[in-house]
Amino acid sequence: MWWHGVGRWTGFSRLAAALLAESGRWVLWFPVLLGVGIGLYFSLDHEPPSWAGAALLGGALLLAVVVQVRWPVWGLPAWILLVALPLGFTAAQVRTALVAAPLLQTGIGPVGVTGRVVQIDRLETGMRLFLTDMRVAGLDAADTPRLVRISVRDMRVVPVIGERVRLFARLGPASSPVEPGAFDFRRHLYFQGVGATGFALGAVQRRGGAEEGGFSLEHWRNVIAERVAARLPDAAAAGMVTALLNGQPSAIPEEDMVAMRQSGLQHLLSISGLHIALVAGLVFFLLRGGMALWPALALRQPIKKYAAVAALGASIFYMLMVGSPVPTQRSVLMTGVMLLAILVDRNPFSLRVVAVAALAVMLVQPDAMVGPSFQMSFAAVVALIAAFEVITPWMAARRREGGRGWLGQGLTYVGSLSLTSLVAGVATIPFGLHHFQQMQNYGLLANMIAVPITSFWVMPWGLVIYLLMPFGLEGWAVTAMGWGVEWIIWTAHWVAGMPGAAIHLPLLPVAGLAVATLSGLWLCLWQGRVRLLGLAGIAAGLLFLPLTPHPDLRITDDGKVVGVRLADGGLTVSTRRAGRFDSDEWAKRDGVDAPRTWPKPGTGDGRLTCDRPDSCLYRLNSRTIAIALSADAVGPLCGSGADALLTGQVTEVCGVPLVIGLDQVTARGAHALYLRGDGIRVETVRAAPGARPWQ
């Protein structure tokens, strides 16, 4: 073939031969390229034409068919390389069109809102109501969002699911990213169907009219939250028990959530592989063991298959009870394939199972792929399966050598648990750095304590609660489950309190994450030596961490807060009275301490100088940026000879080359400026108003 001529000099021949030898693994790359197509769609500044995805997919299918007919040996690679990417792009575009609904563009209120309650989330203080079938005073029906999320602090009246309520609230669009590239909460809610958020003023007024269906899943999620809260006085324990039973962690106090994150135990709150495996495993082994005690049944019927069907049903029920988040969907899909294998007397536990699960989730909910939940859960599972593919032969050999005693089995369990925590922790590091800018140093220790408690105490009691709750007899089981949860929370605080428990690092940019992810997949999906090239790619992706520049100036999307980068890499802001969350996130993404308000005269090194508190100049790399913090400061600074003006005020005629004022930040969201010797680079949250459907 063509590469043989250059193989002696470049090594392409060896690489090609190695990849050809692993043709059985090629199909695993189909969901990977599908994800690349989804990522490409969401990375665009503007929404592509409605026909773009269909045209790309149609052309790719036609080309793949041509390759299949003329060169059959290249048929499979052609379908993988040509079709997967445009299919992902098309799936994301179709999903965006299907969930389209009216979005509130500006804040309104206080205004009367009437709607039907479809979901209630308990909070540490108050609750969140999701309302549909709404009427909003002064808002046309065509402009009224289909679903609104409203926070309520006054708990004197707690409605029931399906009931119509009325309240007075301030409504507005969901928050946009704090800076270009940051988490897009508005996009997240768009795909949940939420067109506006707000907060209530006063108590909820009940209007009755609850629909029939008191046995709906949403009704029972609310019942679980109420009964657990009534039984467990400790807010943290009640919140975590509720999260494990109905998938709503919103009631867990913030200090406990921080401890769970810093100790590496937050994954216990995300209903995923561990929880589904425990539910399915407990049901499977209990039923199979129980039926085995009945010889007439065990000898004549396939009790193993009966238990597998029941375990699958229990897994699906648990997924529905916790709200079907992406990690749970993935886990149920994988568990379903494994249980199906039992029914057909096969053992399919492999990366192909993960590929099927990923393919299904990405085709149904392609927007989930760009979120941390999908990325971290699949990264952990892929890495674990790949790792155990390597060590399973070694473990089997050890068992043959006499490791079957209770001591050997115990050491095997401890070793497997340690390896699982270590591999999953390492695999999710790039995603933690990108989404949370944090690494946990003692996650292995915390998981060694908390995972056995979850496996052998907490989750079994959860199953008992499900069985007893319809009869109102769950109280003692809730108390027992709460004891285990309290030990987990204690472990989280103990580990989080250790010196250096969590390291805060700067943001790993999208480019670095993409390189590290694809390289990690290369390492895990191949089997031969060629996989080791992935290690170099992972290192290259992590190099983006220290080499990526951070913005020199920032301004919030309402123009109320300006942040500037100090000579030591720190961050200082114009005010902490407004936009505190935004400025905290800026510092977090830079990997520095929380910002402080800059001194009235500016910084001592002359980088930031202020003639008066509302009029400052920022100088770096032969560039000067004028910062006007009031309307009175705009005029004088327009004649300062600066290279740009940054202000949260309305500007009209100004004598500087670049003006970023209230009109600009309102239209394009938060701005980030990079000052270089060859000019000023400006990045914005959105290219134009409404450039994407969720903006």
DSSP states of 195-236: EEEEEESSPPEEEE-PPS-TTSHHHHHHHHHHHHHHH---HH
Judge contact between 562 and 554, C-beta under 8 A.
yes
Residue 655 has pLDDT above 90, yes or no: no
Mean pLDDT of 114-135: 90
Percent of the chain with pLDDT over 70: 94
Residue 265 has pLDDT above 50, yes or no: yes
Task: Give tens-digit pLDDT for 414-449.
Answer: 677 778 888 888 999 999 999 999 888 898 899 889
Cβ partners under 8 Å of residue 511, min gap 6: 544
Mean pLDDT of 501-518: 93
Lowest average pLDDT, out of 195-204, 381-390, 401-410, 466-475, goes to 401-410
Amino acid at position 639, single letter: G
In 3-state terms, the chain is what percent helix, strand and coil (to 5)?
55, 15, 30
Record the pTM: 0.89
Residue 338 has pLDDT above 60, yes or no: yes
The pLDDT of residue 403 is 53
The pLDDT of residue 4 is 45
The pLDDT of residue 349 is 66
Residue 457 has pLDDT above 90, yes or no: yes
Q: Which helix (H) or strand (E) holds 433?
A: helix 429-435
Mean pLDDT of 515-521: 96
The pLDDT of residue 6 is 42
The pLDDT of residue 404 is 57
Mean pLDDT of 582-604: 93
Pick the residue with more confidence: 286 or 86? 86
The pLDDT of residue 331 is 80
Measured CA to CA, the distance from residue 552 to residue 572 in angstroms comes to: 11
Residue 674 has pLDDT above 50, yes or no: yes
SS3 annotation, 45-89: CCCCCCCHHHHHHHHHHHHHHHHHHHCHHHHHHHHHHHHHHHHHH
Q: In whole angstroms, what separates CA 635 from the centre of its chain?
A: 44
The C-alpha angle with vertex 596 and arms to 592 and 602, in degrees rounded to 5, equals: 110
Residue 274 banded pLDDT, cuts 50, 70, 90: confident
Residue 2 has pLDDT above 60, yes or no: no
Mean pLDDT of 500-525: 94
Residue 89 banded pLDDT, cuts 50, 70, 90: very high
Judge contact between 481 and 234, C-beta under 8 A.
no
Tokens of 76: 């499979």
Other Cβ atoms within 10 Å of 84 Cβ, number: 21
Residue 407 banded pLDDT, cuts 50, 70, 90: low
Cβ partners under 8 Å of residue 587, min gap 6: 571, 593, 594, 595
- Please provide residue 167's backbone torsions phi and psi, each rounded to the nearest 5 degrees: -155, 165
The pLDDT of residue 3 is 40
Pick the residue with more confidence: 398 or 564? 564
CA-based nearest residue to 213, from 276, 160, 159, 157? 160
Measured CA to CA, the distance from residue 104 to residue 475 in angstroms comes to: 43
Judge contact between 99 and 193, C-beta under 8 A.
yes
Tokens of 13: 């021949």
Mean pLDDT of 676-690: 93
Which residues on neighbouring strands pair with residue 646, listed in sequence order? 627, 660
CA-based nearest residue to 318, from 361, 373, 281, 275? 275
The pLDDT of residue 671 is 97
The pLDDT of residue 320 is 86
- Please provide residue 504's backbone torsions phi and psi, each rounded to the nearest 5 degrees: -100, 125
**CA dist list (Å): 529 to 18, 426, 522:** 8, 21, 11
Mean pLDDT computed over every residue of the chain: 89
Query: Any idea which residue has 């500016």 for tokens?
Result: 602
Task: Give tens-digit pLDDT for 546-575.
Answer: 888 999 999 999 999 999 999 999 999 999
The gap between the terminal CA atoms of the chain, to the nearest Å, is 50
Measured CA to CA, the distance from residue 26 to residue 19 in angstroms comes to: 8
Residue 411 has pLDDT above 90, yes or no: no
Bin 690: left if φ > 0, else alpha if -120 < ψ < 50, else beta: left
- Full DSSP string of 497-532: TSTTSEEE-----HHHHHHHHHHHHHHHH--SGGGG
The pLDDT of residue 348 is 57
Residue 410 banded pLDDT, cuts 50, 70, 90: low
Other Cβ atoms within 10 Å of 289 Cβ, number: 11
Mean pLDDT of 18-24: 77
The pLDDT of residue 607 is 94
**CA dist list (Å): 532 to 30, 33, 317, 430, 526:** 21, 20, 41, 18, 9
Which residues on neighbouring strands pair with residue 674, listed in sequence order? 681
The pLDDT of residue 211 is 56
Tokens of 158: 């707690």
The pLDDT of residue 231 is 93
Longest CA–CA span in the chain (Å) reads 96
Bond from prior residue into 110 cis (ω within 30 degrees of 0)? yes
Residue 347 has pLDDT above 70, yes or no: no
Percent of the chain with pLDDT over 90: 58
Pick the residue with more confidence: 96 or 372? 96
The pLDDT of residue 10 is 52
Residue 19 has pLDDT above 90, yes or no: no
CA-based nearest residue to 520, from 375, 665, 642, 416? 375
Residue 396 has pLDDT above 80, yes or no: no
Residue 97 has pLDDT above 50, yes or no: yes
The pLDDT of residue 109 is 80
Measured CA to CA, the distance from residue 493 to residue 260 in angstroms comes to: 7
DSSP code, position 602: B
Cβ partners under 8 Å of residue 603, min gap 6: 566, 567, 572, 609
Measured CA to CA, the distance from residue 488 to residue 494 in angstroms comes to: 10
